[in-house]
Chains A and B, each alone.
Chain A
Amino acid sequence: MIYLNNAATSARKPPCVVEAVARALTSGAGSSARGAAAADLDAARTVFEARCALAELFAFSHPERVVFFANATQALNTAIFGTVRPGDHVVATAYEHNSVLRPLALLERTRGARVSYVPVARSGAIALEDFDRLITPGTRLVAVSHASNLTGAVLPVAEVARMAHARGALVLVDAAQTAGALPVELDALGADLAAFTGHKALMGPQGTGGLAVAPQVEVEPLFCGGTGVQSARDRQPDTYPEHLEAGTANTPGLAGLAAGVRFVQEQGVEGIRAREEALRARFVSGVSAVPGVRVYGEGDGMGHVATVALNVGDADSARVADALAQRWGIATRAGLHCAPRAHEALGTRGQGAVRFSLGFYTTADEVDAAVRAVAAVARELA
């Protein structure tokens, strides 16, 4: 199989990740922060190491404020529900994933929050002037994807953060599509809160993700429960990470995530970026030459991570994706990609799009095979 659905998950993991998970599962690692015997301390050290690895990757000097969850969605929910108060104004972009859109819609219904969406043009472009217009001195939170999960467009997060901070707003960056694929340095981006997932470009197992919370940023816990410290209190500890983390940690998953992060660091994010950028350009060049194929977002004036959305004529994106999977063994993703506003903006709300997302293990031969397969589908559907 040629796996081009890396924006959903990196299906193939480096051997070091597999070994780290297996070691945690078979060497008797216990429960982190739930005892001081050797097995439980091993687990606690594993989770500690994962926090430190992530903080290093993000050039973030507060590893204790890297809080783990099961995925980026839980991290984004925590950031949103933990900062937006009744009646608050929030700015988000039309590129956001449902993991941002749905919490915000719920807050509109239940807390009277007011949400303004920065529009995305039909070309995929997003204008700084619109952020400037919509972020006001009363805005509480600006939620912005570091990169679109649909077209791969890299958003101007640092510029947006400067505007937001000048008006007293917090900045939440959704780095699900970029952590491990692009340099993600929290200070440089101006992120007050940054959500990441472990199982995409960071090469860790599913069930891992988290939120980095800058010092002085107040977040109300979304999850409450056991922390292994300050147990006599009837509320979550004020100290991090326990303030936002409750329940048993996913030690085997985090062992794998730490190994994945170290793997990415050894390879070098810049090198990974350069290689994936070249592969993406190769793919876009190939499919753009196929009659009937429409690639979205190429005229947006932005950089891209290694994700490409396209359609073949007016064909249902699901039909194209199914043909690619069944006849050529190519895994892509059809439909709306949990990004309905982005599809609305690109004009693909009804048809959806076929998303090709390349990853660390994608080869040039696989890219060429995918281009040939798209051309064959296009010929058949013409």
Chain B
Amino acid sequence: MGGAGAPPLRSDARAPQRRLVASFASTFDALEAERLCRAASVPGRIIPLPAQIRADCGLAWVLPAEDAARQAFLAALAGRVQPVALTELAL
């Protein structure tokens, strides 16, 4: 698995933007979400789990905050992975 597929969603600490962050119960779920999103060309990328969501370790998936992106993301997961939460943050 490499860089092909969905374009990365870069963060810029100097100009945070609203994003949706999907958190997961396990690393496996985060990577399965990545695989499904890449297969469906849904934009997003893996990031470290933000402390604003949970002071913890782990991986999360960040995607644009728009409704269409949320719908595409959930459609890509197709119920095969259940995010613990979808949280809007400035990243």
Interfacial residues, chain A to chain B (CB-CB below 8 A): 32-33, 35-36, 41, 44-45, 48-49, 51, 63-64, 227-232, 237, 239-242
On chain B, the residues within 8 Å of A32 by CB distance are 27
On chain A, the residues within 8 Å of B57 by CB distance are 227-231
Task: Report whether A63 and B27 are in contact in the complex, using a CB–CB cutoff of 8 Å.
Answer: no
On chain B, the residues within 8 Å of A36 by CB distance are 46-48, 59
Give the 9 A-B residue pairs with the shortest CB-CB distance, closest first.
Answer: A33-B27, A229-B58, A64-B28, A231-B57, A239-B26, A48-B31, A36-B48, A239-B25, A45-B1
A161 to B35, CA, bound (A): 35
A51 to B59, CA, bound (A): 18
Number of contact residues on B: which range applies? 10 to 19
A147 to B26, CA, bound (A): 34
Task: Report whether B55 and A232 are in contact in the complex, using a CB–CB cutoff of 8 Å.
Answer: yes
Q: Confirm or deny: B29 has a beta carbon within 8 angstroms of a beta carbon on chain A.
A: yes
Name B17-33 residues within 8 Å CB distance of A: 25-29, 31-32
On chain A, the residues within 8 Å of B26 by CB distance are 64, 229, 237, 239-242
Task: Report whether A229 and B27 are in contact in the complex, using a CB–CB cutoff of 8 Å.
Answer: yes
A33 to B55, CA, bound (A): 16
Please name the residue on chain B nearest to A231 by beta carbon: B57
Task: Report whether A48 and B28 are in contact in the complex, using a CB–CB cutoff of 8 Å.
Answer: yes
With contact pairs A228-B57, A239-B25 given, residues A35 and B48 touching in the complex (Cβ less than 8 Å): yes
With contact pairs A41-B46, A45-B1, A49-B1 given, residues A33 and B59 touching in the complex (Cβ less than 8 Å): yes
A45 to B54, CA, bound (A): 23
A51 to B26, CA, bound (A): 14
Q: Quick one: CB contact mask for B44-60 with A, threshold 8 Å, 1 for yes?
A: 00111000001111110
Q: Could you jot down 15 A-B contacts, CB within 8 Å?
A: A33-B59, A36-B59, A44-B27, A228-B57, A229-B26, A229-B27, A229-B57, A229-B58, A237-B25, A237-B26, A239-B25, A239-B28, A241-B26, A242-B26, A242-B27
**Other than the known A48-B27, A231-B56, what 14 A-B pairs have Cβ atoms closer than 8 Å?**
A33-B58, A36-B46, A36-B47, A41-B46, A44-B59, A48-B31, A49-B1, A227-B57, A228-B58, A229-B25, A229-B27, A241-B26, A241-B28, A242-B26
A239 to B40, CA, bound (A): 26
Interfacial residues, chain B to chain A (CB-CB below 8 A): 1, 25-29, 31-32, 35, 46-48, 54-59
B75 to chain A, nearest CB (A): 21
Please name the residue on chain A nearest to B1 by beta carbon: A45
A259 to chain B, nearest CB (A): 14
Task: Report whether A229 and B56 are in contact in the complex, using a CB–CB cutoff of 8 Å.
Answer: yes
A64 to B31, CA, bound (A): 11
A49 to B27, CA, bound (A): 12
Please name the residue on chain B nearest to A243 by beta carbon: B26
A321 to chain B, nearest CB (A): 44
A41 to chain B, nearest CB (A): 6
Task: Report whether B27 and A230 are in contact in the complex, using a CB–CB cutoff of 8 Å.
Answer: no
A45 to B31, CA, bound (A): 7
Task: Report whether B56 and A63 are in contact in the complex, using a CB–CB cutoff of 8 Å.
Answer: no
A44 to B28, CA, bound (A): 9
Task: Report whether B1 and A232 are in contact in the complex, using a CB–CB cutoff of 8 Å.
Answer: no
On chain A, the residues within 8 Å of B1 by CB distance are 45, 48-49
On chain A, the residues within 8 Å of B55 by CB distance are 232
A231 to B27, CA, bound (A): 12
On chain B, the residues within 8 Å of A237 by CB distance are 25-26
B19 to chain A, nearest CB (A): 15
Please name the residue on chain B nearest to A229 by beta carbon: B58
A240 to B1, CA, bound (A): 22
A240 to B25, CA, bound (A): 9
On chain A, the residues within 8 Å of B58 by CB distance are 33, 228-231
A77 to B21, CA, bound (A): 39
A265 to B25, CA, bound (A): 31
Please name the residue on chain A nearest to B3 by beta carbon: A38
A230 to B23, CA, bound (A): 11
B30 to chain A, nearest CB (A): 8
